[in-house]
Amino acid sequence: MALSNISGSEAHGRPRRSLAWVGSLVTMTGTFLATLLGLLIMTFTIGRVMPIDPVSAMVGWEADKATYDRVYHELAFDQPLYVQFLRYLAGILHGDFGIALRTGRPVLQDILAVFPATAELATLSILVGAAIGIPLGVYAAARQGKLVDNIARFVTLVGYSTPNFWLALVGLLVFYGWLGWAGGSGRVSVYLEGLVPVRTGSLLIDSLLAGDTEVFFSALRHIFLPASVMAYGSMAFITRMTRSFMLDQLSQEYVTTARVKGLSENKILWRHAFPNIGVQLLTILALVYGGAVEGSVLVETVFAWPGFGQYLTNNLLMGDMNAAMGCVLLVGVIFVTLNFISDFLYRVLDPRTK
């Protein structure tokens, strides 16, 4: 009888949990869409308050008044702001970000062409930063106040506080100018450009798929320095956050119990404490990846890396608001999407949210 009552309560509880998950997913999706709408409003507002005349940038500063007025009307700048925003929103929903003045091509087409270079650079920097930062943060927490911890805190403080463009300039001077260990500007040597067919957008992977080791090692020499500069900043933040999370876990009672039982320190760190910060680290890694995409603007400018950051910088200098607004919107969408994914994974993986 008792078993039947338990089974019945479990049967009634499952639909409730399913409804709760559906409601939570609907709420998260609604928040995601509302955030995207707010991002679109902010991007549109930035484009209107910038001290740059998009019509003059499009027709040229020497154009006559008739030409200026015609383009001004075609772009609906003579309409109320809400009409302009609805027109802008309709274009975005159809994938129309306007035409880039510098290239004469659709902005979305330009962004899709340059973004794989930035994604390759950001992804490699995050992989290196996480591979170093997570173990360093764990061991720094395990040896709080000792030499390893003090060194880790100093190194991460420098990496977290130093501007990445300054590190890029110093690294370029030392490792390229003096030592000759790193490649120069661009993704690959000039005489090797265009030899590998584009498959994934990552030159390292595409060169391996094509079996061209010369292009691969040239690309590796060129990406080594910018990726290291970005990885240092990422590693610094990941280390600090990992150390903070681990210190909180190591102060819990279950860690004291494990030590009383005689478990080794490594087993306590990696089998008991570390899994409890995994979900938090996912959120941190998502934020750091978004920051790497955003922070690549200055690094790509220093290294003449043909990616998203350099594309944004060049178009801003030309006063091309279509391209600039498209890039700003893309960065915002990346941040919002990564936050949405990390929040969803947090709810799925953390048993405390069930």
- The model's pLDDT over 195-217, given as tens digits with 9 standing for 90+, comes to 888 888 889 999 999 999 999 99
Residue 306's nearest CA partner among 165, 123, 124, 118 is 118
State how far the Cα of 309 lies from the Cα of 305, in Å rounded to an integer. 8
Residue 10: pLDDT above 60? no
Instruction: Give the phi and the psi of residue 119 in degrees, each rounded to 5.
Output: -60, -40
Higher pLDDT, 58 or 353: 58
Residue 2: pLDDT above 50? no
99: β partners: 106
State how far the Cα of 298 lies from the Cα of 295, in Å rounded to an integer. 7
Of all residues in the chain, what percent carry a pLDDT higher than 70? 88
C-alpha 258 chain-centroid distance: 38
| Largest separation between any pair of C-alpha atoms in the chain | 91
Could you tell me the CA-to-CA distances from 205 to 159, 220, 230 in Å, in that order? 29, 11, 20
Question: What does the DSSP assignment read for 267-317?
Answer: HIIIIIIGGGGHHHHHHHHHHHHHHHHHHHHHHHHHHT--SHHHHHHHHHH
Could you tell me the CA-to-CA distances from 180 to 162, 174, 192, 211, 227 in Å, in that order? 24, 8, 19, 26, 17
Give the tokens for residue 106: 């659709």
- Least confident range from 7-16, 60-69, 197-206, 225-234: namely 7-16
C-alpha dihedral sign at 205, 211, 217, 222:
negative
Higher pLDDT, 314 or 46: 314
Give the tokens for residue 329: 């919107």
Residue 119: pLDDT above 60? yes
Residue 350: pLDDT above 70? no
Domain ranges of the chain: 44-96, 116-167+223-353
Residues sharing a CB contact under 8 Å with residue 62, sequence separation 6 or more, in sequence order: none
Give the tokens for residue 263: 């478990």
Q: Are 125 and 199 contacting, i.e. CB atoms less than 8 angstroms apart?
A: no
Give the tokens for residue 163: 């501007």
Please report the pLDDT score of residue 353 as a whole number: 57
Fold of 116-167+223-353: MetI-like fold (1.10.3720)
State how far the Cα of 76 lies from the Cα of 60, in Å rounded to an integer. 18
